[in-house]
Structure 1
Amino acid sequence: MRLCVLLSFLSLNIYWEVFANGIGNRYFLEKQRFLLEILHHVHEPLMNQQWRLLGAQLVTDKEQYVVYNDHMIEFYKAFNSGRLLHRNEYYNPLYADHYQQTLGLFHFFYNSRDWYTLWQNICWARVHLNPGVFVQALTQVIFKREDYQALVMPKVYELWPETYHDDKTLRKARNFNFANWIKYENLSDIKEIHPQKIEPLSLEGGLRNSIEWFQAMADVNILRMKQQKRENKLQHLLEDIGWQSYWYNLNVGIALTEEKSDELQEWCYYQLSQVLARYKLELYGQKLSYKRLRPAGNKRKQKRRLQEKSSKTTQMIIESLKELEAKVGDAIAFRSFPLSNGTYINLEKDNNWLIGLAELFPYDWTKLTVKEIIQPEDLMDTRTSLRSDNFYYYAERVLQSYRWYRQVFQPSTQKIFIPSDLRIDDLQISPLITYDQPVDVDLSNILHAKHFYLAGQFVWPFTLQQRQIRLQHKDFNYNLQVSSNKTQSTIFRIFLTTPVKGSIQREPFYQLDSFLTVIYPGINRITRKSKEFRGLIGDHISYTELHQFVKLAEREKYDFPLNISTPNCGFPRRLILPRGGTKNPLKMRLLIVATVYDFKARQGNELNCDFTKGISRWDELPLDYPFERILEDDTQAVEISADHLYWKDVWIQHEEHLA
């Protein structure tokens, strides 16, 4: 913590200048443009001669760093001896050696005393190092150094298009020649489109509807490539780049976070449970088996750079799961747990159960690295884990053990949160409608770098977008009617689940909304809009547009807002509903749970992948309450059937041709 304070103090003047009035000044804009251009075509050798010269040497003067630690010493030794990962090799931070290299470079970046030192080190790393190591370390610095958090990183699927698109798309983009396209435009399936035809037109902040947007994009040709057809029933979810990148950013944000805590662990497993529940709702909507998941085979037909899984990976994970389940079983059977020093703790004494929970269920991938080299595959790449069907099977097994452990050892204090003299009388909800929305995804970073340099100067003459069809839903709202005999501060949680009644053991419960309000004596009517739901984000500005807005602001024709991009760790708002039925609406249920507010709400900054100040929460209840444990219908019926709960049947309709 003292290091973080010192780093913030050293750059305090720059920090306040950048954040003044929420508008980036020229110093900020210079840094932002440099960041975007140094990351452009990061998989190719750097062509900017000025930065190549600046990056000739790593800054090794220890006086230029707040701390010069062992990680930096070992990293520099590895570089001098030629032991660092070659730039053309596959990078995966789950491999222990790759992670150590990333950690060393991160500290060279993070511990820099000033921007010039960081600038030189970034240029050096861009020239000499594996691009995966470089991007991972730089992303961590932007996430974690308070004085640079205002800088906007391009979205991960714009930096690495080859990871998120099929081979046919990548081949076409790599072979694209702008000069030939101009000559033979009518013979190509890549077409130029009018700026007003780019989708979605509506971005956060209304950027694509502004005069400044047309000024920024005036000199850019917007080209569009058609999307490949999808065949898998779940591809609209699993192949969604927002779905995949959400999990990647969350894990990157957690990694290297100094402030580890029981709360952060709980938050991570809550997010995992949400991802699993949302996946299961999609399975249910597609009439696929969802109650008990099974390992999936390799069913993907589109060829990709990453394979789905390998038998070696499967064996490694299954063995780890069996070991975890055995340890949890022993902990429950013997009510004790062995610590690393060989001593045993009584899990029923004080809060020792939390020590056991932390030992059994790590959440930071830096604690899960492996010694053997990991081959490219969806499951073991943090960028694409959610694309693998097997991810959810493994997640379910982990969560079953997690909930079983909590069911046995978690103190039973939940009943004090059940409100008295309160009854949820009714819920009315507007139509739930999903539809297929056409969008354009920026592929510019996969094009050949020669298109972007003119007489040695970086230019951005055109952008290549791929038209995709993604899942979206119409905005909706719901109205609660609540009766009370007294004034009381109350928290409401709204879950979406299947219409299956009876046992709830294997039904997924996905939390749509949670909010705090004051309930007064008499009848209370509360209205909530889907755009108000916490933790969700809308559409963001693309890599190309971001660069052009920076250039426009540098010409003093635009006030560059520091919130121009969406938070990286926010969940895509458009994915909260499963795909509805086309002929017959998809029947689902809502569960509304009211609990007493204990005046312990806290606001964190986890949407921006910053966990230094903890995570946001309404109260002391577990984040996944009441589903963080295994609920037994008979003994805990009060938590699933009482006046402070309300069940509501709902239907979701899908309109295929609405967009």
Structure 2
Amino acid sequence: MKLVLAVLCLAVGASAWPQWLSDSPPDLAHRQQTVNRLLYRSTEPLRFDELEAAAANFHPDADTSLYKDDGVAAKRLLKELEDHRLLEKHHWFSLFNTRQREEALMLFDVLMNSKTWETAVNNAAYFRERVNEGEFVYALYAAVIHSSLGEGIVLPPLYEVTPHMFTNSEVIQKAYTAKMTQTPGKFRMEFTGSQKNPEQRVAYFGEDIGMNVHHVTWHLDFPFWWNDAYGYHLDRKGELFFWAHHQLTVRFDAERLSNNLDVVDELYWDKPIKEGFAPHTTYRYGGEFPTRPDNARFEDVDGIVRVRDMIIHETRIRDAIAQGYITAADGTKIDIRNSEGIDHLGDIIESSLYSPNAQYYGALHNSAHVILGRQADPHGKFNLPPSVMEHFETATRDPAFFRLHKYMDNIFKEHKDSLPPYTAEEIGFPGVHLTSIGVEGKLETFFEDFEFDLRMAVDSSESVKEVAVSATVSRLNHNDFTYKFDIKSDAAKHAVVRVFLCPRRDSNGIIYTFEEGRWNCIEMDKFWTKLAAGDNHVERKSSDSSVTVPDVPSFQTLITEADKAVAGSSDFDFAHYARSCGIPNRMLLPKGSENGMEFALVVSVTDGESDEQHDALEDATTESHTQCGIHGEKYPDHQPMGFPLDRRIPDERVFLSSDNNAYTIVKVYFKGEH
């Protein structure tokens, strides 16, 4: 995907032209600069000379030797453009709209099939001026992520590229007023709802713009439309779909417990959707995001999805779990009563193109997003635009998102519970003894203000000067801390250290049993280490977690630093931010409580010898591979995700008697007001 972006660099500036005429793509700084310029004010015409020239003079089908597919994708998109079949500019775009998704993927195909950086950039510039802005941004982001030419490019934060998707309409309106009155402004963005709504207590989680970016980026990294013909297989994609969303769900439950709320209940197709949602958000073009009242009942969405279909597909999936196999499209049986079964199950529940029988099992997840999102206007009577549920950027804002994923998570749990519990031999690590576990530093959370740029939210004009406009929002953060483990080994061994944080009590203060609690555990970290014979003292900083990523630098920072690097006054070294898929590192800890909320810190040291990349992983500290894998490579851990807590533990002695496992009780404290 990075391929496409690299191509874009062509339009960077006069100094870039000699580079993109060479056999190899430009350096990272030039490629970053070009991508910045292609995304800058994406709803307005290009304003950089070389890119403007490419958009005006390049002919995508003039030389089909420039493409891996002999220009088939480029000709197809041009034909759709010439026949006026493409979505117009200044119109909302939703990936869940079948036709709009097809159009965005037509452009993605063109970019992915471009042989050179120059060809990709020329195509990006040409079609940026001619296709819908939302489709362009989606295709470009996806191409940068999946093309080899995009290696190292940092995609600007989406909340600054498409701020309407992340910012309340009240703030957007204030930004427009500031621009028109030429008065710079910084505006506070509040979470939706009011104190009368209990869900307001956890709005900081679902509406966190960093969490929103993680969710949309995960679906860009592992898109349901992915075809291996693009160049590689997305290893364990179905299982990653389960695990990433399971972790979102248990994290949300931990936040609810932190705020004296019950854990979220699942959705039921035959019961009302208890919580309504008013997003207070407006599309840049096309009206407001629809509001759903409390206690709405599911209705068929005309011409798209019926409630009965959801029930039928759910029944077929549950039958597959009960029978222990999935029936493929050719009638063969795929065994799922094994560690690989969860991967197949994830493929059919989503469903992705990896589903072995999409016609029979349907697309439970994708259809559920649509049917839930359309309940404000299921029959199209008011011609409302899509709801927040029909965009991965905005879906977690709606509390019903978590009810929906609790519903699917319980289906996955039904499968996991059908598998035999791990034996002491499977859980154990002979010769390795975890003798002590502890944490240095107080586990303390707090709210802080975060400021982001809103200049892309308002239109520009040659007759009106730019003014600084930004939004500030309160967000969760925590103090840094360090894990400390003492491990004794009878020989030198490759080991994986798995760290979980599990709520200890339910909303009534009752202590969870080991079996009840293990499904609620938050995976805090997973890392590889080389154990020496004898005593080992292992320390691991919270900031090094393989679950999290740091904040992406602001769009303006990326522009400034790339321009400086191109001018030769500095290097562009932002490799630490090249991935946005991962929980924000400031949200590693749940909020906790002012008096300290109890959690079980569970640690398991397991054998890493079978992991092919253990040597490299022992030196890695920044790759968010736990929920996001490694691009184009096999998932680094050979064990099931969540091991050894992913299966039933009817007898906790089996787990605790293996002295490579241990737990201790810790408290997470919340400091300050919210």
Which TM-score tier does this pair reach, normalised by the shorter chain?
0.7 to 0.9
1:267 aligned onto 2:240: yes
Q: Is the 8 A contact 1:423 1:483 kept in 2?
A: yes
User: 1:244: Cα distance to partner?
Assistant: 0.6
Partner of 1:228: 190
Question: CA–CA distance in 2 between the matches of 1:128 and 1:482?
Answer: 60
* Secondary structure, counterpart of 1:147 in structure 2: helix
On the 8 A contact 1:486/1:521 being kept in 2, the answer is yes
Name which of structure 1's ranges 508-517 and 620-629 shifts more when overlaid on structure 2. 620-629
Corresponding residue SS for 1:236: helix
Q: Please, which moves more after superposition, 99-108 or 256-265?
A: 256-265
- Whole-Å separation in 1 of the counterparts to 2:463 and 2:476: 33
Aligned-residue offset at 1:328: 3.1
Report the AA paired with residue 170 of structure 2. Answer: K
SS of 1:175's partner is helix
Q: Which of residues 613, 628, 643 is equivalent to 2:646?
A: 628
Distance of 1:503 and 1:319 partners within structure 2: 37
Instruction: Find the partner of 2:527 among 515, 527, 530.
Output: 515
> How far does residue 433 in structure 1 lie from its aligned partner after superposition?
0.8
User: Separation in 1 of the partners of 2:165 and 2:521?
Assistant: 31
In the alignment, is the contact (CA less than 8 A) between 1:106 and 1:137 conserved in 2? yes
Q: Which has the higher contact order (CA 8 A, sep 6+)?
A: 1
CA shift at 1:78, angstroms? 1.9
1:290-319 C-alpha deviation (Å, 9 max, x unpaired): 164455422447455433668668875965
Structure 2 unaligned residues grouped into runs of 5+: 11-15, 195-199, 268-272, 283-287, 356-362, 375-384, 505-510, 618-622
User: What is the Cα deviation at residue 434 of structure 1?
Assistant: 0.6
Q: What's the secondary structure of 1:176's corresponding residue?
A: helix
CA-CA distance at 1:74 after TM superposition: 3.6
Q: Which residue in the other structure is 1:405 paired with?
A: 415
Q: CA deviation at 1:160?
A: 0.8
Q: Bigger shift: 48-57 or 648-657?
A: 48-57
Which residue number in structure 2 is paired with residue 205 of structure 1? none
Question: Where does structure 1 lack aligned partners over 5 or more consecutive residues?
Answer: 19-23, 191-223, 455-460
Q: Compute the displacement of 1:652 (Å).
A: 1.4
Q: 1:612, CA displacement in angstroms?
A: 4.8
Instruction: Determine the structure 1 residue equivalent to 2:290.
Output: 307
- How far off its partner does 1:127 sit? 1.4
Kept in 2, the 8 Å contact 1:601–1:616? The answer is no
Of the candidates 620, 632, 642, which is equivalent to residue 613 of structure 1?
632
Alpha-carbon separation, structure 1, partners of 2:94 and 2:673: 40
1:347-366 correspondence to structure 2 within 5 Å: 347=335, 353=341, 357=345, 360-362=348-350, 364=352
Task: Give the conservation status (yes or no) of the 8 Å contact 2:153–2:578.
Answer: no
1:93–1:99 CA contact under 8 A, matched in 2: yes
Alignment of 1:361-380 (within 5 A): 361-362=349-350, 364=352, 375-380=385-390
**Which among 574, 580, 593 is matched to residue 568 of structure 1?**
580
Q: Which shifted more, 515-524 or 239-248?
A: 515-524
Give matches, 1:129-528, under 5 Å: 129-177=131-179, 180-181=182-183, 190=185, 224-228=186-190, 231=194, 232-255=200-223, 256=226, 258=228, 259-260=232-233, 263-290=236-263, 292-293=265-266, 295-300=273-278, 302-304=280-282, 305-307=288-290, 316=305, 319=308, 322-341=311-330, 343-345=331-333, 347=335, 353=341, 357=345, 360-362=348-350, 364=352, 375-408=385-418, 415-429=425-439, 430-450=441-461, 463-484=468-489, 487-499=492-504, 500-502=511-513, 504-505=515-516, 507-519=519-531, 523-528=535-540
Give the deviation of 1:274 after TM superposition. Answer: 1.4
Q: Deviations over 1:302-343 (max 9, x none)?
A: 4554336686688759656533431233224444433213x2
| Superposed displacement of residue 516, structure 1 | 2.8
Q: Tell me, in whole angstroms, the C-alpha distance in 1 between the residues paired with 2:437 and 2:624.
A: 31
SS at match of 1:77: helix
Paired amino acid for 1:490: A
SS in 2 for 1:260: coil
From 602, 605, 611, the equivalent of 1:594 is: 605
CA contact (8 A) 2:523 2:547 kept: no
Distance in 2, matches of 1:463 and 1:313, equals: 45
Encode CA deviations 1:132-183: one digit per residue, 9 max, x unaligned.
11111111221122123333321111111001011110111123227732xx
User: What is the CA distance between 1:250 and its match in structure 2?
Assistant: 1.1
Query: How high is the TM-score relative to the length of structure 1?
Result: 0.79
The one-letter code sitting in structure 2 at the alignment partner of 1:172 is K
SS of structure 2 residue aligned to 1:225: strand
CA separation of 1:606/1:145 partners in 2, compared to 1, >3 Å: closer, same or farther?
farther
Deviates more, 1:494-503 or 1:310-319: 310-319
Return the offset for 1:601: 4.0
Q: What are the superposed Cα offsets for residues 594-621 of structure 1, whole Å, 9 maximum, x if unpaired?
A: 2223332436977697855324424x21
CA distance in 2, matches of 1:641, 1:351: 23
For the structure 1 residues 564 and 175, does the alpha-carbon distance in structure 2 shift closer, same or farther, using more than 3 Å as the test?
A: farther
Report the AA paired with residue 633 of structure 1: P
Partner deviation per Cα, 1:72-128 (whole Å, 9 max, x = no partner) = 444332212111111122211222211211111112222223333333322222211
CA contact (8 A) 2:339 2:640 kept: no
From 556, 567, 585, the counterpart of 1:544: 556
Matched to 2:664, the amino acid is K
DSSP-derived class of the 1:379 partner: helix
Contact 2:155 2:578 in 1 (8 A): no
1:43-58 → structure 2 map (5 Å cutoff): 43-46=43-46, 51-52=51-52, 54-56=54-56, 58=59
How far apart in 1 are the matches of 2:66 and 2:431? 63
Q: Whole-Å Cα distance in 1 between the matches of residues 119 and 464 of structure 2? A: 26
C-alpha distance 401-438 of structure 1, shift in aligned 2 (>3 A): same
After superposition, what is the alpha-carbon deviation per residue over 1:183-219, rounded to whole angstroms, capped at 9, x for unaligned? xx7xxxx2xxxxxxxxxxxxxxxxxxxxxxxxxxxxx
Shift of 1:249: 0.7
| Cα deviation 1:381-437 (Å, max 9, x = unaligned) | 111122222222222222222233244357967833512344433322231011111
The verdict on how the C-alpha distance between 1:116 and 1:517 changes in structure 2, with shifts beyond 3 A counting, is: closer
Kept in 2: contact 1:144–1:610 (CA 8 A): no
Amino acid paired to 1:60: D
Matches within 5 A, 1:93-112: 93-112=95-114
Distance 1:561 1:428, change over 3 A: closer
CA 1:359/1:115 → structure 2, altered by over 3 Å: closer, same or farther? Answer: closer
Deviations 1:11-56 (A, max 9, x none): 9xx9xx99xxxxx997654443332233222123445676455324
Amino acid across the alignment from 1:474: N
Paired letter, 1:442: D
> What per-residue deviation string (whole Å, max 9, x for no partner) do you get for residues 518-550 of structure 1?
445655433222122224222332111221223
Q: 2:74, 2:420 → 1: CA distance?
A: 42
Q: Deviations over 1:450-508 (max 9, x none)?
A: 26999xxxxxx654222222111000112223445555443221111111331533651
Q: Is the contact made by 1:422 and 1:485 (CA closer than 8 Å) also made in structure 2? A: yes
Name the residue aligned to 1:59.
60
Matching of residue 655 in structure 1 with residue 671 in structure 2:
yes
Q: 1:92 aligned to 2:91?
A: no
- Shift of the 151–485 alpha-carbon distance from structure 1 to 2, 3 Å rule, reads closer
The structural deviation recorded for 1:71 is 4.5
Task: Give the Cα–Cα distance (whole angstroms) in 1 for the partners of residues 338 and 596 of structure 2.
Answer: 50
**Following TM superposition, by how much is the alpha carbon of 1:441 offset from its aligned partner in structure 2, in angstroms?**
0.9
* Structure 2 counterpart of 1:377, one-letter code: S
Number of residue pairs aligned between Structure 1 and Structure 2: 593
Counterpart-to-counterpart distance in 2, 1:520 and 1:30:
45
Q: Tell me if structure 2 keeps the 8 A contact 1:487–1:519.
A: yes
